Amino acid sequence: MSASKTGLGDSTDMSPSEIVKALDKYIVGQNAAKRAVAVALRNRWRRQQVQGDLRDEISPKNIIMIGPTGVGKTEIARRLAKLARAPFLKVEASKFTEVGYVGRDVDSIVRDLAEVSMKLVKDEEAERLRPAARKAAEERLLDLLLPAKASSFSDRPPGGKLPESSPAPGTENTTREKLRGLLLAGKLDDREVEVEIKEDNKGFMQIFGGSGVEEMGLGGLKDMIGNMGGGRSKHRKLKIPEALEALAGQEVEKLLDNDAIQREAVRRAEQAGIVFLDEIDKIAVASEKSGRGADVSREGVQRDLLPIVEGSTVTTKYGVVKTDHVLFVAAGAFHVAKPSDLIPELQGRFPIRVELEALTDQDFVRILTEPRNALIKQYQALLDTEGVSVEFDESAISELAATAAHVNTSTQNIGARRLHTVMERLLDDLLFSAPDIGAQTIKITAQYVKERLGALAEDEELSRFIL
């Protein structure tokens, strides 16, 4: 199978400034955090260029992002992983418990990362093999169509039906090529064909709670039961396009080298994996509280995390995964606890600390309009599917931003996530009635925003529940 030299995708030779520019397309502000993750990603590429044993000695510089909710911490890490085409896993530190207690153990982080890596590599390889698989699927589909259709073309003998014996030289090939032309032209799309589909029983084990099965040491049992009946198949009648997709999927599975994919998945997880540890402040313990009840358990989670972050070996169903070069990005609001409340050993494994700034009215204006996935662009695209064109005045955007900022100040600051609530409330009536009002253009003005949001924004009690 093909793989990049570093296993980090095609974008890892981007310079830090290019990485920051790429992040700017989706995330407003937070330049310090963008610079930190850009350098961390570039350092991975640099490490791959180092020759000799020294390469293995260079460890990633893990990062702690400090800032309130909704300012872009998760989005920065997620977009970074997409740039690098790297396995990315987001976990909440508060969901884990110390070994010996009921709950998720920290080793499941590595097992989940291996799963993500496996899916990423398998999808990449399937995409690479899809053209060859589609050609093979076309041939299988023609095999299904030819017996029923061979007698319907002009090269049929004058007597009517084709004889029981072999057709005249070239007749079958000519018919097949005519069929192929009709198939590729989409002229057979309304026809149905009977296709053999293999049953998949893997969903059966989901009733046991997914990853919990892995944590009980029953991953092999899960696979065994999931594959029971894998050899069984059933026949279904499908339209030609659906049948082609189903057959192409089967051909891809035949072409995949699962052993090679597993090896690459383990390597990608080890060399390129990014783990985002959210809410790490929830497991920090202020020194004056140390030794009390639940705080002891939180400190225990930190000590369990330490080997994973430092570099350890975890057995997964795809092989042994070493975490020495996995990049860990931790994040937390740290309203109550401080980074210094983490145990010293864990602090030392996160040498880079960046503080993200709270968002202002102007930041909200930019978030609404500038990113490629800006909220206003999303709602315009949604309503455009109904033939309704929505235009926002600059004054309306400013009013929306000011409303969101005001509600954040008067209730609870949830950052840019407030914009989702405000936009949904603003366009609620329009989203409901769009299919009935027909194609037209709706202008959103500052007055329009005030009429629909003004009273709610001013009423603090209503804002708490509605905005």
Q: For residue 25, which phi and psi values (nearest 5 degrees)? A: -70, -20
Q: Which residue has the higher pLDDT, 9 or 261?
A: 261
Instruction: Please state, as a whole number, how many other Cβ atoms lie within 10 Å of the Cβ of residue 126.
Output: 17
Average confidence (pLDDT) over 33-51: 87
Domain assignment present for 3: no
Q: What is the pLDDT of residue 5?
A: 41
- Given this model, what pLDDT does residue 443 score? 93
| Across 96-107, average pLDDT | 65
pLDDT score of 165: 45
CATH assignment at residue 456: 1.10.8.60
Mean pLDDT of 131-158: 68
Which pair of tokens denotes residue 443? Answer: 């202008």
The answer to whether residue 9 is domain-embedded is no
Residue 105 pLDDT > 70: yes
3-state secondary structure of 466: helix
255 in the same domain as 155: yes
**Does residue 3 register a pLDDT over 70?**
no
* 3-class secondary structure per residue, the chain: CCCCCCCCCCCCCCCHHHHHHHHHCCCCCCHHHHHHHHHHHHHHHHHHHCCCCHHHHCCCCCEEEECCCCCCHHHHHHHHHHHHCCCEEEEEHHHECCCCCCCECCHHHHHHHHHHHHHHHHHHHHHHHHHHHHHHHHHHHHHHHHHHHHHHCCCCCCCCCCCCCCCCCCHHHHHHHHHHHHHHCCCCCCCEEEEEEECCCHHHHHHHCCHHHHHCCCHHHHHHHHHCCCCCEEEEEEEHHHHHHHHHHHHHHHHCCHHHHHHHHHHHHHHHCEEEEECHHHHCCCHHHCCCHHHHHHHHHHHHHHHHHHCCEEEECCEEEECCCCEEEEEECCCCCCHHHCCHHHHHCCCEEEECCCCCHHHHHHHHHCCCCCHHHHHHHHHHCCCEEEEECHHHHHHHHHHHHHHHHHCCCCCCHHHHHHHHHHCHHHHHHHHHHCCEEEEECHHHHHHHHHHHHHCHHHHHHHC
Is 212 within a domain? yes
* Residue 221 DSSP class: H
1-5, 67-71, 202-206, 232-236, range with greatest mean pLDDT: 67-71
Which segment of 222-236, 329-343, 415-429 scores lowest on mean pLDDT? 222-236
Residue 21 is assigned to a structural domain of this protein? yes
- Which of 246, 303, 248, 309 has the alpha carbon at shortest distance from 277? 309
Q: Can you give the pLDDT at residue 268?
A: 92
Block residue for tokens 């989203």: 431
pLDDT-derived band at 163 (thresholds 50, 70, 90) equals very low
Q: What is the mean pLDDT of residues 40-48?
A: 86
CATH number, domain containing residue 341: 3.40.50.300
pLDDT value of residue 465: 54
Do 296 and 213 fall into the same domain? no
Percent of the chain whose pLDDT exceeds 90? 19
Does any domain span residue 451?
yes
What's residue 265's pLDDT?
A: 93
Give the number of other Cβ atoms within 10 Å of residue 397's Cβ.
Answer: 19
Q: Looking at per-residue confidence, does 251 or 201 come out higher?
A: 251
Are 258 and 153 within one domain? yes
Contact present, 383 and 434 (Cβ < 8 Å):
yes
Question: Which of 135-149, 189-203, 206-220, 269-283 has the weakest average pLDDT?
Answer: 206-220
Domain count, the chain: 3
Specify the amino acid at residue 88: F
- Residue range 92-102: average pLDDT? 67
Which pairs from 45-51 meet CB under 8 Å and 24+ separation? 45/6, 45/8, 45/12, 45/13, 47/325, 48/5, 48/6, 48/8, 48/12, 48/271
Helices 428-437 and 417-426 pack at an angle, to 10 degrees, of 40
Whether residue 6 lies inside any domain: the answer is no
The answer as to whether 129 is a domain residue is: no
Give me the pLDDT at residue 100, please.
47
Residues 332 and 391 in one domain: no
Q: In this structure, are 336 and 279 located in the same domain?
A: yes
pLDDT confidence bin for 261, thresholds 50/70/90: very high
Exposure b/e, 102-122, CB count within 10 A at least 16 = b: eebbbbbbbbbbbbbbbebbb
Select the more confidently predicted residue: 411 or 225.
411
pLDDT given for residue 190 in this prediction: 80
Question: Which pTM was predicted?
Answer: 0.73
Given a cut of 50, whether residue 149 has pLDDT beyond it is no
Express as a percent the part of the chain with pLDDT over 70: 78
d(CA 413, CA 31): 21
Q: How confident is the model at residue 264 (pLDDT cuts 50, 70, 90)?
A: very high
Does residue 157 sit in the same domain as residue 257? yes
Measured CA to CA, the distance from residue 441 to residue 384 in angstroms comes to 10
Burial of 435 (0-12, 13-18, 19+ CB in 10 A): exposed
Condensed to tens digits (0 to 9), the pLDDT of residues 378-387 reads: 999 999 999 9
| Shared domain check, 397 and 313 | no
Look at 112-121, 189-198, 391-400, 418-427 and tell me which has the smallest mean pLDDT. 189-198
Which of 219, 237, 263 terminates a domain? The answer is 263
Same domain, 293 and 190: no
Average pLDDT over residues 394-400: 91
pLDDT, residue 96, reads: 78
If asked whether residues 215 and 279 sit together in one domain, one would say no
* pLDDT score recorded for residue 204: 45
Look at residues 339, 355, 371 and tell me which one is the last residue of a structural domain.
Answer: 355
Average pLDDT over residues 391-413: 87
Give pLDDT tens digits for 282-295: 888 765 555 555 55
What range does the domain containing 273 cover? 16-117+264-355
Sign of the Cα pseudo-torsion (430, 434, 437, 441, in order): positive
Does a structural domain hold residue 143? yes
Do 411 and 447 share a domain, yes or no? yes
Around 330, how many Cα atoms within 13 Å sit in the side-chain half-sphere? 28
Which of 324, 355, 386 lies at the terminal end of a domain, its last residue?
355
pLDDT value, residue 199? 65
Q: Pick the closest to residue 371 from 29, 139, 14 (CA basis).
A: 29
* pLDDT at res. 162: 44
pLDDT at res. 206: 47
Residue 390 has pLDDT above 60, yes or no: yes
Q: Do 272 and 247 lie in a common domain?
A: no
When pLDDT is averaged across residues 60-66 and rounded to a whole number, the result is 89
What was the pLDDT predicted at 205? 46
Residue 149 shares a structural domain with residue 112: no
Average pLDDT over every residue of 99-119: 81
